[in-house]
Amino acid sequence: MENTNQKRLPLLGDDFPEMTVQTTHGTIELPKYYSGKWFVLFSHPADFTPVCTTEFVAFQKRYEKFKALNCELIGLSVDQVFAHIKWEEWIKEKLGVEIQFPIIADTGAVAEMLGLIHPGKGTNTVRAVFIVDDKCKIRIIFYYPQELGRNMDEILRAVEAMQISDKHGVAMPANWPNSEVVKDHVIVPPAKDVKTAKERLEKAKAGEFECFDWWLCHKKL
């Protein structure tokens, strides 16, 4: 029998849930705080841990690239604000990197809401990533185990690729922009009826785009 009281975790396409959080930059209302911007909310198991430290340095070193895509960063763990601040100071002193984006000091409420605690992987938050667009919709969710650090270039690529997809109405191939099949091209969405399928090959002959077949066409932006 279905438990109607069980909370449903956010899914792709959902509005990012409204919440008020305490951060190293003060109290923030999400997603309102980033209205009109994309943002990446990422959780880490704990402050003062080796893998998490390398991740924060990696995120900070790419922060300007994220901001160039109208995208902000916000971290999260179930640690108190003073621990976040002390950890930031340690990173700046020992590694010469100043963390400029806010970090949420979660009481556990946000972790529960977003499904960040996976009992099979311990009691700390897993390494989750929520990519949220400028309309506050959740577009991508990544989960990583505690023992694996994230690839920030992939997260950056995902944000850029989704923005291009939205703007041009196209799909993005594997390993874009270095696809083994279509190189730096984007994928033209496949035809959904016979008429469009026939037109697709005619447009390919006219040089509008290239096709392996009517259902696999691609073009350069």
Q: Tell me the catalytic residues.
A: 52
| 138 and 30 co-located in one domain | yes
For a pLDDT cut of 70, what percent of the chain falls above it?
Answer: 95
Whose CA is closest to 116, among 102, 127, 107? 127
Instruction: Of 31, 184, 36, 214, give the one whose Cα is nearest residue 110.
Output: 31
Query: Which of 118, 151, 184 represents a domain boundary (last residue)?
Result: 151
Domain that holds residue 78: 19-151
**What is the pLDDT at residue 4?**
43
* Contact by Cβ (8 Å): 7, 18: no
In a domain, 157, yes or no: no
- Whole-model pTM over 0.85: yes
- On the question of pLDDT at 5 being above 50, the answer is no
Burial group, residue 193, by CB count within 10 angstroms (0-12, 13-18, 19+): exposed
**Which one of 117, 151, 185 terminates a domain?**
151
Verify that 54 and 146 share a domain, yes or no: yes
- My answer on whether 39 and 100 are in the same domain is yes
User: What's 129's domain CATH number?
Assistant: 3.40.30.10
* Model pLDDT for residues 197-209, shown as the tens digit of each residue: 888 888 888 888 9
Chain centroid offset of residue 55 CA = 14
Looking at the structure of the chain, the number of domains it has is 2
Q: Are 116 and 79 in the same domain? A: yes
Q: Return the pLDDT at 185.
A: 97
Q: Is the pLDDT of residue 154 over 70?
A: yes
Whole-number pLDDT of residue 3: 46
Is 208 among the domain residues? yes
pLDDT of residue 123: 59
Does residue 122 have a pLDDT over 80?
no
